[in-house]
Structure 1
Amino acid sequence: MRGQTLLLGLTLVFGGGSALADDALFGLIDERLRHMRDVALHKWHHQLPIEDVARERVVVRSARRAAVRHGVDGDGAERFFIAQIEAAKTIQSHWFGRWDTEPPRRQAPDLATDIRPRLLELGDEIVARLRQVPASSTARAAFDAALTTEGLSTGSRVALFAALGATNRYASTLARIAANGELRVGTAGDYAPFTYSANDESWVGVDIDQARDLGRALGVPVRFVPTSWPTLMDDVLDGRFDIAMGGISRNVARARLARFTGPYFTDGKTAIARCADAALYTSLGDVDRPGVRVIVNPGGTNQRFVDANIREASVIVWPDNRTVFDEIAAGRADVMFTDGIEVRLQTVRHPGLCGALPALTYLDKAYLIPRIQGDRAWLETVNVWLEQRVASGAVERLIERHVNAR
């Protein structure tokens, strides 16, 4: 109840604002659509197709990420930007149809120097104002009055207004959590003892237990959102969850794009090999030589370590971190570099595997939070909770329990 009371209070203080018709937003949308005549003119003169699927994907992803940084729900924002692109193509098709019978007499402004810079400015202005519009007759009348661009079809108009009605903006992550009644936790599910799931439905691990405790502190249930090491930062930037948990190493590359909490565990890269061969590897040079097969899971700090340090040994990129240690045990690979805690765990689960080499690097484990403008309360809240968990010994007890579990 205390967590629910806290979130309710934050919602009242930091709520997303009233859902009102926004004439300025409608005007910006219409202005952007009006530029589609010049875009169409450029494509007409250069014999370019109206549809450019690759560029549309780039535009939608970039716009979604900008919206997420402004506190807009990513899925709703993406639906709006897709509707906007479809409306733009409808308008361009309208002009192509007219020019088939009456070719245009004027040349188009330059797309790169004249049209696109203004479209980017308008996109930023739209993102800054993007919010939910009520499905009321008053709002619809204001929307219809503002959108006067020639060639905009009735279907596109309906789709745009519907997308605005499903676009939610939150003043803070805590306000979003309170409004939706859940904590979204991104986790890879392939890095025991921190996070493990065989089917993306049942989850176990240190950080799974930690996530559930955080949910209890906030008074909301937890929904685990599957991610992967290659896609982790994309998913954070796309706003697919409120926090990423699961043995994530703090590094500068990630910190440039998102916010880290304080650390809750300190570790380092080391090596694991078959016990019969472990004595052969007393230094990094013993591993990095012809004939040694180094196996690595893709996308995370393990692969970055291998890419930076292995030159002579052969490298096997194994896509499933859940089974990668089986490859060493079966003799199809010789060595893997990973964190010390994972070596401890896997030597318990695979009696034929042993640690090799002392720690080669220093790293901290922490939780990762999307970077949203003006939202410091979420990071501060998680840090206070985490500091209390570490100080009480709860995290250490979870680690020992999961490392020694069979």
Structure 2
Amino acid sequence: MTATTSPADPAAQAALAGLFAPTGVLRAAINLGNPILAHTDPATGAPGGVSVDLARACARQLGLALELCVFTTAGQSVDAVTQEQADIGFFAVDPVRGAGIGFTAPYVLIEGSYLVHGSSPLQANDEVDRPGTRVVVGAGSAYDLHLTRALQHASIVRAPSSPAVTDMFVAGGYEVAAGVRQQLEADLQRHPGHRLLPGCFMVIQQAMGLPKGRGEDARAHLARFVEEMKATGFVHDALRRHGIAGASVAPAA
């Protein structure tokens, strides 16, 4: 982290660190349910990924030790930050979540796609919202929140987590699965005979956030941190380092 977002004097940095981390340790909520941003090392089981890299950079900038609070679903991660059991997190921006979380501008854009059976009559995203179509989503995910508002005729079936969506879709004989394009592409290797609909039904704005009660000064500083991480190439390099294809760095706010 370069000096441009750091307070000029130690007292100011200490005050800012206190706003972010009342316990003296920066607790970062990491959602393993989003494979674009977080994963576990197959050899060590340690969490890694773009969100972990950003959490470490944020802790260094604030002069704080870092504690990773690892969750398997977006809903758990949202709850942890909303209830101030974690100090920062990495989320898709959504107005429902915004009730308790102060968001930055996005740092990464991710496509949400639909998966269907090979023999499905559905050929386009706008054909999904029809009576009798059941769409499987990860409970509490950005797709769940968005489609709950957007779908007028199709029904939603909620899987326990985003990584469980495709297995539930196949086992239950449902019509559509919705999720991160890269996750669904990987699932096709395990479930041949299915296909992705062209394009995407939504673009997810992935941002950082903190409990709304921490105040505007803390949120504004986190927003400046995110902008610098984009501008300096940190986010781009992290995506490349972790082998993430299909996600793009969000434009400057």
Stretches of 4+ aligned residues off by more than 6 angstroms:
none
Instruction: Encode CA deviations 1:192-244: one digit per residue, 9 max, x unaligned.
Output: 11123599x63132212221232233343321123543344443232111111
The one-letter amino acid paired with 1:389 is: M
Letter in 1 for 2:28: V
CA distance in 1, matches of 2:213, 2:141: 24
2:202 aligned counterpart, secondary structure: coil
Aligned pairs (5 A) from 1:212-227:
212-227=56-71
Could you say which residue in structure 1 is the equivalent of 2:174?
333
1:240 partnered with 2:85: yes
Report the Cα offset of residue 286 of structure 1: 4.2
Contact 1:287 1:335 in 2 (8 A): no
Shift of 1:251: 2.6
Equivalent position amino acid for 2:96 in 1:
A
Q: In the alignment, which residue of structure 1 is the partner of 2:160? A: 319
Q: Which residue of the other structure, out of 362, 369, 380, is the alignment partner of 2:210?
A: 369
**CA-CA distance at 1:307 after TM superposition:** 2.5
Shift of residue 302, structure 1, vs aligned partner: 1.4
Percent sequence identity over matched residues?
Answer: 18
Find the partner of 1:282 among 124, 129, 139.
124
Q: Aligned pair in 2 of structure 1 residues 260, 286: CA closer, same or farther (>3 Å)?
A: closer
Q: After the TM superposition, which residues 101-180 of structure 1 pair with which residues of structure 2 at under 5 Å, given as runs?
A: 172=16, 174-175=17-18, 180=23
Residue 380 (str. 1) matches residue 220 (str. 2): yes
Larger RCO (CA under 8 A, 6+ residues apart) = 2
Match of 1:257 in 2: 100
The residue aligned with 1:389 is 229
Q: Is the 8 A contact 2:113 2:199 kept in 1?
A: yes
191 and 219 in structure 1: CA distance in 2 versus 1, 3 angstrom threshold:
same
- Which residue of 2 is the match for residue 270 of structure 1? 113
In terms of fraction of residues, the more helix-rich structure is 1
The verdict on how the C-alpha distance between 1:280 and 1:391 changes in structure 2, with shifts beyond 3 A counting, is same
SS in 1 for 2:64: coil
State the match for 2:249 in structure 1: none
Going from structure 1 to structure 2, the CA distance change for 1:208 and 1:373 (only over 3 Å counts) comes to: closer
User: Deviation per CA, 1:244-263, whole angstroms, max 9, x where unpaired?
Assistant: 12xx2223333343311121
TM-score, normalized by length of structure 2? 0.73
Residue ranges of structure 1 left out of the alignment (5+ in a row): 16-170
Distance 1:225 1:186 in 2: 5
Offset at residue 391 of structure 1 (A): 1.8
Which 5+ residue runs of structure 2 have no aligned equivalent? 246-253
Q: Is the 8 A contact 1:329 1:350 kept in 2?
A: no
Decide whether aligned partners of structure 1 residues 278 and 384 sit closer, same or farther in structure 2, where only a CA change above 3 A counts: farther
Residue 302 (structure 1) aligns with: 143
Residue 343 of structure 1 pairs with residue 185 of structure 2: no
- Does the alignment pair 1:187 with 2:25? no
Indicate the RMSD between aligned Cα atoms, in angstroms: 3.6
Amino acid at match of 1:393: G
Distance in 2 between the 1:278 and 1:209 partners? 40
